[in-house]
């Protein structure tokens, strides 16, 4: 009994899967920034992008920390997910503030560097 044709078929299948981007080793096209906060205080995270067209927000959500029933005012995490659009770099500047307090500076500022490489892989690095 020969297994050579079966091995060849499996090799072709693997090559075809890699060509379609089915490999588990591909870098992500999306990336998420996770920031702690507590919206019950009136504060929220907002951001600006230094270079339009490099990344775009695909979702943002708030996930409250686990807490006992009836407990109010607990904090949680703000999650901002971005998608790669085109090769390039941009800075994402996140500010933790009360949006209605126009003349008050943010209580916290965090900057991320977004890099999209030639393979449309997105990397976010906190500066």
CATH number of domain containing 118: 2.60.40.2020
Considering the domain boundaries, does residue 95 fall inside one?
yes
Range of the domain at 87: 25-126
Cα(116)–Cα(87) distance, integer angstroms:
5
Q: What is the pLDDT of residue 38?
A: 94
Considering the domain boundaries, does residue 7 fall inside one?
no
Give the total number of structural domains in the chain: 1
Say what the pTM is.
0.74
Q: What is the pLDDT of residue 115?
A: 97
Q: What is the pLDDT of residue 20?
A: 38
Considering the domain boundaries, does residue 55 fall inside one?
yes
Considering the domain boundaries, does residue 51 fall inside one?
yes
Considering the domain boundaries, does residue 18 fall inside one?
no
- Alpha-carbon radius of gyration of the chain: 21
Q: What is the pLDDT of residue 65?
A: 87
Considering the domain boundaries, does residue 80 fall inside one?
yes
Considering the domain boundaries, does residue 64 fall inside one?
yes
Considering the domain boundaries, does residue 13 fall inside one?
no
Cα(89)–Cα(112) distance, integer angstroms:
11
Q: What is the pLDDT of residue 2?
A: 44
pLDDT tens-digit profile, the chain (127 residues): 444 443 343 343 333 333 333 344 455 699 999 999 999 999 999 999 999 999 999 999 999 988 767 767 778 999 999 999 999 999 999 999 999 999 999 999 999 999 999 999 999 999 9
């Amino acid at each position: 009994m020969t297994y050579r044709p079966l091995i060849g078929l499996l090799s072709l299948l693997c090559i075809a899967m890699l060509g379609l981007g089915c490999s588990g080793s591909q870098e992500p096209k999306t990336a998420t920034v996770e920031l702690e906060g507590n919206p019950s205080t009136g504060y929220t995270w907002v951001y600006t992008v230094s270079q339009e067209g490099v990344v775009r927000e695909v979702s943002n959500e708030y996930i409250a920390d686990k807490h006992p029933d009836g407990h109010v005012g607990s904090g949680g995490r703000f999650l901002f997910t971005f998608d790669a659009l085109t090769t390039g770099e941009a800075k994402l500047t996140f500010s933790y503030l009360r949006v209605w307090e126009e003349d008050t500076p943010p209580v916290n500022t965090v900057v991320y560097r977004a890099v999209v490489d030639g393979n449309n892989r997105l990397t976010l690095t906190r500066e």
